[in-house]
Amino acid sequence: MMDMAESPRLSVDLAAMARLMPMYAWVTADGRLRSLGPTLAKICGPRAVPGMPFLDLFRCLRSACAKGAAHLAAAQDDRLAFALRDNPDTVLRGQVVSLGPGQGMLLNLSFGISAAEAVAAYSLNSSDFAITDLTVELLYLTEANAAVMGELAALNERLLRARNRAERRALTDSLTGLSNRRALELSLRRLTQGGFPVHERRQIVDAADISGFAVLQLDLDRFKAVNDTFGHAAGDHVLRHVGMTLRAETRLTDVVARLGGDEFVLILPGFTDPQAVMKLARRIISRLESPIEYQGQMCRISGSIGIALSSDYAIADIDRMLADADAALYMSKHEGRGQAMLHRLIREDMPAGKTENARIQDVSPG
């Protein structure tokens, strides 16, 4: 058994030192560089040359260097810490041992827990560290963690897209791509700023609390004849064409919904001028009356529209507005179809104690 007290001498060439300790610094007794390991040389850059003072490259973060690098040998039992002068964010930790008379001292340095940041900052890889260095394990763990986090992020993105698609399907009419009844009700809640709990369909708010909007109820005319004459496939084709027409005539901020069959509702935020709303309604009817080709046959339909304006109500009661727009729609059909009628509330000169009267009118010019 070897007696360690004999202090046997060991000779190691610099190439072997570089493999075992790629972040070593061999420093003379008076604190000047003799040699650097390849990884430490890469970090320090071209200005790290033999003969320069060690503390011109590094700032000691512990009291052991307070009197200069020549006193490092006295700190053999201490945990040392240094910061690069050119990059104070890079902190190295290590230990120093004395090499004996005339040989100076040897420092073995490491990044510690900041290895991942240093690897990124100096473009290092596993070959820049000794195989036994725990930094290599840390790098593998960091890469594995990055891979797992990347996969989790991708999975979350896929789940989010799937959820968005499911929500869109739940709020979309499958035939026309327009909003469905549920989407319409949600839009009306948002438009009236949700004065009541979500589970309550009826929404009542002060008209002053909302920007004005128009409600249009649309039913197709002569649509049954299309189904009876050309079949339901033709009817579906016509409904899809109507959906495209309504989207083309409205804005992205408008809500266009199919309630089922040939019934549609349009919500137009900001529309409170009767003339402007009627102009849009008549333009929609005109486009609907253009022949629609289906398998060489021409399908002809029209549309009747009833309109209610929020500006006509002291209290914007959505259910009432929808009912009034429906009443105006009924009058449009009664008057010969292919028309737009506006439901107006009459308050002028209303006797005290009397309820509001209503009239249905066509306010379009001519």
Each residue's pLDDT tens digit, 20-62: 899 999 999 888 999 999 999 998 988 889 999 988 888 888 6
pLDDT tens sequence across 14-28 = 888 889 899 999 999
Within a domain: 152? no
Where the chain has pLDDT below 70, the residues are: 1-8, 62-71, 142, 192-211, 345-366
Within a domain: 333? yes
Structurally, the chain folds into a number of domains equal to 2
Within a domain: 12? yes
Name the residue range of residue 243's domain.
181-361
pLDDT for 67 equals 63
Within a domain: 159? no
Within a domain: 72? yes
pLDDT for 129 equals 86
pLDDT for 224 equals 94
- 265 and 350 housed in the same domain: yes
- 260 and 126 housed in the same domain: no
The rounded distance, in Å, linking the Cα atoms of 52 and 264 is 85
- 105 and 186 housed in the same domain: no
The rounded distance, in Å, linking the Cα atoms of 274 and 359 is 14
pLDDT for 207 equals 41
pLDDT for 238 equals 97
CATH of the domain at 106: 3.30.450.260
- 235 and 311 housed in the same domain: yes
Do residues 360 and 334 lie in contact, with contact meaning Cβ atoms separated by under 8 Å? no
Within a domain: 158? no
| Residues catalogued as catalytic | 262
Beta strands in 167-296, from DSSP E residues, in sequence order: 204-206, 213-221, 255-260, 263-269, 292-294
